Amino acid sequence: MSLILNNIVNSISPLELSQLEGYSFMNRMDTKYPFSFKLLPELLGRISEQYKVLEINGVRDLPYRTTYFDTPDNLFFNQHTRGFVERYKVRCRLYETNGESFLEVKHKNIKGRTQKWRISKNDNCLFDNESIKFLFSYVSDSAFNVRPVLKSRFNRITLIGVNTKERITFDHNISFSNGNGEPIRLPYLAIAEVKRDSHLKPSPFTCALKDMLIRSSGFSKYCVGRAIVNNIAKAHLMKPTLHSLQKIENEYNVYSA
């Protein structure tokens, strides 16, 4: 994390993990905003007085490690890239700061709401009878066929509204790998995501986004990672997203020049 970004994050009032309980939003509306990492300090600076930042063991820029799972015929990937209104995602996520790890299922329903279910696992997320039973409850027969297909690492800054019922995350320092060879890094990319129970009226966050011309986009780290690392589905279904990613990289390079 850059010195400027670090100073801004450290200036925000802290929030303990126990205070996050009322903002878990396991059944929620969420919206993503991919943009150039160079804009992140300014964006955070604009809203720093209206939000609190999650701090765990003295760390505010929290490292995450994720393993995504899919079937041999890429069922979940295809659901996302082909625009299915009902779609799933299976992953194991490790919160490196406190060592907690969870096997998770995410579901986007026909109303556009995201539901998430999870069970606690050890850090290597080995599948056992409990895991299969858990997955079978949500993804049915696909539970018996899933295997790891993508690994991702990133850092996350989490904010909670002081006067607004919203949780905002900022992911950066993102990298992808398939477990073989060097990871592919995306230092130019930041992804903001706002999570809430329902559609909100304008908030300090959404107003700052509007002022900075940062727009929402259907952006999936999983699908982007698969397309980049595994070189799949780079036809018309992924072209708009990959084109947007290229524009963000170009913008980042202009700022860095």
pLDDT for 6-17, tens place per residue? 999 999 999 988
Asked if residues 188 and 248 have their Cβ atoms less than 8 Å apart, the reply is yes
What pLDDT is stored for residue 200 in this prediction? 63
Predicted confidence (pLDDT) at residue 28 exceeds the cutoff of 70: no
Other C-beta atoms closer than 10 Å to the C-beta of 52 total 18
**Class of residue 161 by CB neighbours under 10 A (exposed 0-12, middle 13-18, buried 19+):** buried
Q: Domains of the chain: which residue ranges? A: 3-256
- Residue 242, SS3 per DSSP: helix
Q: Look at residues 150, 160, 39 and name the one whose alpha carbon lies nearest to residue 93.
A: 150
Predicted pLDDT of residue 69: 95
Who wins on pLDDT, 101 or 254?
101
Q: What is the pLDDT of residue 7?
A: 93
The DSSP symbol for 80 reads H
The C-alpha atoms of residue 149 and residue 110 are separated, in whole angstroms, by: 26
- At 35 the pLDDT is 97
Cα 25 from Cα 23, distance rounded (Å): 6
Sequence-distant (≥ 6) Cβ neighbours of residue 109 within 8 angstroms: 85, 86, 115
Q: What is the pLDDT of residues 44-101, one digit of tens each?
A: 999 999 999 999 999 999 999 999 999 999 999 999 888 888 899 999 999 999 999 9
What pLDDT band is residue 123 in, cutting at 50, 70 and 90?
low
> What is the model's pLDDT at position 237?
77
**Measured at the alpha carbon of residue 159, what is the angle toward residues 155 and 161, in degrees to the nearest 5?**
170
Nearest to 219 by CA among 1, 35, 7, 18: 35
Alpha helices in the chain (DSSP H): 3-11, 40-47, 75-81, 129-139, 204-211, 221-229, 239-256
Per cent of the chain over pLDDT 90 is 61
Q: Which residue, among 151, 154, 146, has the nearest Cα to 173 in the 3D structure?
A: 154
Specify the pairing of strand 51-54 against strand 13-15. parallel
The string of pLDDT tens digits covering residues 79-88 is 988 888 889 9
What pLDDT, on a 0 to 100 scale, did the predictor assign at position 111?
A: 80
Q: Quick one: pLDDT at residue 62? A: 96
| Fold observed for domain 3-256 | mRNA Triphosphatase Cet1; Chain A (3.20.100)
Q: Please choose, from the candidates 225, 153, 165, 162, the residue with its C-alpha nearest in 3D space to the C-alpha of residue 195.
A: 165
pLDDT value at residue 253:
92
pTM of the model: 0.92
Residue 198 main-chain phi, psi, to 5 deg: -155, 180
Rounded distance, CA 86 to CA 79, Å? Answer: 8
Average pLDDT, the chain: 89
48: tokens are 């720093």
Phi and psi, residue 228, nearest 5°: -75, -50
Answer whether residue 236 shows pLDDT above 80: no
Mean pLDDT of 183-199: 90
CA-CA-CA-CA torsion sign (20, 12, 257, 244): positive
Give the pLDDT confidence score for residue 34 in this predicted structure.
Answer: 97
* Lowest-confidence segment of 20-24, 85-89, 119-123, 188-192 by average pLDDT: 20-24
User: What pLDDT, on a 0 to 100 scale, did the predictor assign at position 82?
Assistant: 86
